[in-house]
Chains A and B, each alone.
Chain A
Amino acid sequence: MSSSWPAATVAATSVLQVVLLVVGGPLLVGLMRKVRCRLEGRAGPPIHQPLLDLRKLARRERMRPEHATWVFSAAPLVLVGTTLVIAAVAPLLTTSPAFGQYGDLFAIVYLLLLGSVALALGALDTATAFGGMGASRAMTIGAVAEPALLLSVLALSIPAHSSDLPAIITGSLTHPIWLATPQRLLALVAFVIVIVAESGRLPVDNPSTHLELTMVHEAMILEYAGADLALVRLGESMRLALMICLLADLFVPWGIATAPGPAHVGLGLVAIVAKVAVLGAGLAAFEVTVARLRLFRVPELMAGAFVLAVLAVVSALVSP
């Protein structure tokens, strides 16, 4: 697909995607916090506050627990590195980013898993009780979320005969009816539940709690400081933004650039920013209305998502 595009344009678009995610991820987190604060009747920090936080953290001293090894220091690099690779090859602004023909949905899922595994190993490396607790819980949630995720990917891939993300998106653009099929809607719900779980949002995990017994993700990153903490924060916000981008791509693909040229890419940029902002705000608004689930209720939620994904696959198979 990318062969018909000028190489320089393709490379530039990929770089733009990476920059968009690096800047847009923290902004999305800022926006979600703002929405939440407003709904709770507070003014809240400015939307670009996470970026300011990152700048502040980046300059602070890096610290490493005395018993930890290079694994602890490498984990944030892997977390951000995997997300950057996905940002470069996934179709966010255009259906033909650099190496877009390798933007396979399964590969993206496993790259995200690599980031989660790195973070869990970094947490266990700290040799504290909290690190182990967070890693254990995060891996458990990840393990039960995985089937729902892969089955909804399968349901999305069946009409396009491919798990290739650009192929699925261009397919949905040429056959808009795919978007209204029951399998797409069922897969959508399953996908949203998985995104909430994987990105550690309410009701699965509360990103703003530091209550010892309830934290999952925060327990894993307790020991990070300075530039390492900045990378972890950046990584998690980029992953959240990336997953919402994928959601937007798969279920409301309109606006994404299908032809080269600054105008198309510009339109794609505006479209994706608008879609992600709306979806993010919606997610934040939803978070205000729910309480955090008990840890052992989470698998039930995931089982629900799994059932929806199975139904999506079944309806994809029975529909012509």
Chain B
Amino acid sequence: MSAALLAAAAMLGLLASGAGAVAPVKLRAVLTVILTVAACGCAGAAAVEVLSTGHTAVIETGSLMPLSRFALGLDALGALFTLVAASIGACAMVFRLGYAGHGLSSRTASSTLPLFVTTLLLVPAASNVTTFLYLWELMALTSLVLVLTDHRHRPEVQVAGQWYAVMTQLGAAAILIGLVLLATRAGSQSFTAIAERGPRLTPSVRDTVFLLTLGGFASKAGAVPLHVWLPRAHPEAPGPVSALMSAAMVNLGIYGIVRVGDGLLGGGPAWWWLLVMAVGALSALFGSLHSATSTDLKRLLAYSTTDNVGLMLLGVGASGLFAATGHRTLALVALAAALLHVAFHAVFKGSLFLSAGSVQQATGTRDLDSLGGLLRAMPVSAPIFIVGALAIAALPPLCGFVSEWLLLQAMLHGLPSSNTAIAIAMPVGVGALALTGGLTAATFVKAVGIGFLGRPRNEAVATAGDVPRSMATGAGVLATACLVLGVAPFLVLPAVLDAARTATGTTIADPLSRGWSLGLSGVHGALAPGLIAAGLTLAIGLVAGARRLAQVRALRHVEAWGCGREIQTARMQYTATSFAEPLIRVFDDVLQPVHDLDISHTAESRYYVESARFHTSLEDGFERHLYRPATSMLRWWGALTRRIPNGSVHRYLVFGFVALVLVLVVVA
């Protein structure tokens, strides 16, 4: 049954893509959305069935691709990622119905979008190397086309597309080399066969494969230092595409690391996982710091994706480290925490990116410094963003809190340990998580407080109306899920545990207590998210009641006092730039902001200022210190080699001759 559903999902996806290419423009959006949502529904149903029965859904056919069989096999680990992608895909497609901007209704975009969603659904189901690589590459290419949707109108889209194209193809090449090496050494390209033989390969092969695939998958996940494309490409993509990329596509990077590291190679030495944890901690800190200082709403969200990917990698790395040192149960719990964060991050980041898309459509800008007061102008979309923001800041009773709590518990219970690696890595992990948590809270107070509260900073924002119902529905479903999953995480926890068991190959029955309270078995103390939610509702209700009782007269709306200031204009409010200024100052060693103050004096006297210009910019440190030297070296090399073929036929004849001689020498 689940295999049929999976096949139906693939068919519907292809059909939707075809419909996008041939249907008349009026029907195009509706047709592709209906068919793609149906595809997501089928894939989601298949995933749920796999997770509930534990049977793998297998589809194999020999005639679909050259050189190899097309093989899909959805197991519990893949099913979790397919389920997440299906939920995000369905919501993003519903949102897309009302999303007018960015030329998404062009023939190319409408046929590419369903294809992209379908690859997101199928990549976790691929069960041999060739199928995986084909689907992976298709996913990379379709997402690239979608990022470039608006390239005619905005030059920054082209730059973003270039970065994305280069990074994603380098990553794909690394994965290709790694997996092909693995397949040839293991003597088979089927994942099940590799998983049997993978652990017995020589350490040098295993290390090479792990490092290559880690590089490729980490670049797709947007982990530091391979993240540079992410804060460019995710913001420039149209609203629903950014949501799909940030909430569903980056997950597949995590999937790849877990599938190859834990599944195909069967775990590895401690240093692999210490490396993963180090990358995770660095990504979390770097991402949260940059998202705390960004003033572009979607760029802020993109950096926070890097931050959350870092947290997932911390969990994955901790899990591998525990497994490498023999703590089986803890390994399972840590991986479950990471996968839970994958699922929950998808939910809240999806709602955030979709409502940021709504904001962009309604106001025409995503610059926080010119937004403001959207809670009045967009009474439906703004609360959706606020719920997502509270969830990502890990505040109870929303879902982000639960996964971060579980991650903290997993790292805490690794201590005290006789193993030095664990004893060092876990406190560092907790420290990174804590600093990230504080910065994320500041970031989203900024995003909500500057963008959605206060007064509108310009006319377009003040008169912006709310978006069509379909957009609000797509984002609203995800925001509701933030609350429901935060209160009742047991709805997804068994599925997450199944996925973690499949990945680690363990059969430990109940590492976590079930039901309304969540905690590690055999350990004192637990978390009852439902109880916290109920308690908060009760307490806030009581306090509100008491305030109502004490109230003598109705609430009076007055001019803001502001310490007695007479005129208060919208421009006097704190902006996102000024809000983040103390943070930039505190972390200036890391962020290295560039300030430029230009004062020109009047001709009469240098004591009078004629005009002053202040410019401040904040660049990505990795871009400046790593990528820019690399690209300038490439450019230098390109300029050098360009001099050799100068157009002279004689010279080309010499090249041909020399090459021929060399070949003959080598052959002889």
Contact = CB atoms under 8 A, between A and B. Distances in A.
Of A63, A106, A299, chain B has the most CB atoms within 10 Å of the CB of: A106
Contacts, number: 278
Interface string B284-296: 0000000010000
Interface stretch (A256-264, A270-278, A310-318): A310-318
Contacts of A160: 524
Interface in A149-178: 149-151, 154, 157-158, 160-167
Of A89, A99, A110, A162, chain B has the most CB atoms within 10 Å of the CB of: A110
A127 B454 contact: yes
B542 interface: yes
Nearest to B552: A59
Contact of B434 (A80, A102, A116, A150): A150
Of A136, A226, A310, chain B has the most CB atoms within 10 Å of the CB of: A136
A212 interface: yes
Interface stretch (B204-212, B442-450, B493-501): B442-450
Interface stretch (A5-13, A28-36, A138-146): A138-146
B579 A132 contact: yes
A281 interface: no
Contact of A140 (B435, B524, B586): B586
Interface stretch (A43-51, A70-78, A185-193, A243-251): A70-78
Given A102-B527, A310-B431, A121 B448 contact: yes
B445 A120 contact: yes
B407 to A, nearest CB: 10
B93 to A, nearest CB: 31
Contact of B445 (A82, A124, A126, A161): A124
A11 to B, nearest CB: 13
Interface string B404-436: 010011001101110000010001001101110
B435 A147 contact: yes
B441 A128 contact: no
B561 A223 contact: yes
B445 A77 contact: no
Given A126-B560, A132-B574, A147 B583 contact: no
A103 B526 CA distance: 8
Interface string A260-294: 00000000000000000000000000000000000
A197 B527 CA distance: 27
A116 B441 CA distance: 10
B535 A88 contact: yes
B586 A69 contact: no
B664 interface: no
A160 B413 CA distance: 10
Interface string A78-93: 1011101100110000
Contact of B544 (A77, A111, A149): A77
B437 interface: yes
A227 B551 CA distance: 7
Nearest to B428: A310
Contact of B560 (A61, A67, A69, A84): A67
B558 A117 contact: no
B430 A316 contact: no
A317 B582 contact: no
A135 interface: yes
Contacts of B441: 113, 116-117, 139, 142-143, 146
Given A140-B582, A143-B442, A129 B543 contact: no
B542 A128 contact: no
A125 B454 contact: yes
Given A128-B565, A128-B573, A143 B395 contact: no
A65 interface: yes
A264 to B, nearest CB: 21
A52 interface: no
A214 interface: no
B526 A151 contact: no
Nearest to A136: B579
B347 interface: no
B395 A117 contact: yes
Nearest to A83: B539
A127 B423 contact: no
A130 B565 CA distance: 10
Contacts of B582: 136-137, 140, 295-296
A227 B524 contact: no
B528 interface: yes
B445 A151 contact: no
A71 B375 contact: yes
A16 B640 CA distance: 81
A82 B395 CA distance: 11
A222 interface: yes
A20 interface: no
Interface in B566-600: 568, 570, 572-574, 578-583, 585-586
Contacts of B269: none
Contacts of A143: 292, 435, 438-439, 441-442, 583
Contacts of A164: 524-526
B553 A84 contact: no
Interface in A200-235: 210, 212, 222-223, 226-228, 230-231
B578 A132 contact: yes
Given A81-B536, A107-B405, A144-B438, A66 B395 contact: no
Contacts of B434: 146-147, 149-151
A38 interface: no
Contact of A135 (B393, B445, B557): B445
Contacts of A299: 586
B413 A161 contact: yes
A20 to B, nearest CB: 15
Interface in B528-561: 528, 531-532, 535-536, 539-540, 542-544, 547, 550-553, 555-561
Given A68-B560, A101-B517, A164-B525, 16 more contacts: A62-B556, A63-B556, A77-B547, A81-B539, A101-B526, A102-B532, A121-B449, A123-B449, A128-B573, A129-B572, A132-B579, A135-B445, A140-B583, A149-B434, A150-B430, A222-B561
10 contacts: A81-B542, A82-B539, A104-B405, A127-B372, A139-B445, A143-B442, A144-B435, A150-B433, A150-B437, A162-B525
Closest 7 CB pairs of A and B: A132-B574, A164-B525, A124-B449, A146-B438, A143-B438, A150-B434, A65-B560
